[in-house]
Amino acid sequence: MLRVSDLEQSIDFYTQVLGMSVLERTENTQYRYTLVFVGYPQADGSPHNNAIELTYNWDTHQYDLGNGFGHIALGVDDINATCGRIKALEGNITREPGPVKGGTTQIAFITDLDGYQIELIETQH
């Protein structure tokens, strides 16, 4: 779960830049928050077990990221093509594609609009 400061901008980032879909959206008017689950839909229509929960607390407009959170990691088929698409959409790539230190797996890092780090890991060679 990620707490976000601007829900619509965050939805745009995860759906347009990362190619996810909105899988579920619920609002709780009593406690003044909205939950939006974004992810990659399962081909067979099964529940979204690989989703990110975006939490928007209506009365909070800024968060501290803290030092306990590291990053989200997402597998991608072609890291160079993915980063090229992200750049074309003006996404913030903070580490260009390249091998992980001490290994051969190709990774890159991007940052979302709230400052959360997302590691992209190439899953095919």
Q: Tell me the catalytic residues.
A: 119
Q: For residues 54 and 51, what is the distance between their CA atoms, to the nearest angstrom?
A: 9
DSSP 67-102: SS---EEEEES-HHHHHHHHHHTT-EEEEEEEEPTT
Q: For residues 108 and 93, what is the distance between their CA atoms, to the nearest angstrom?
A: 8
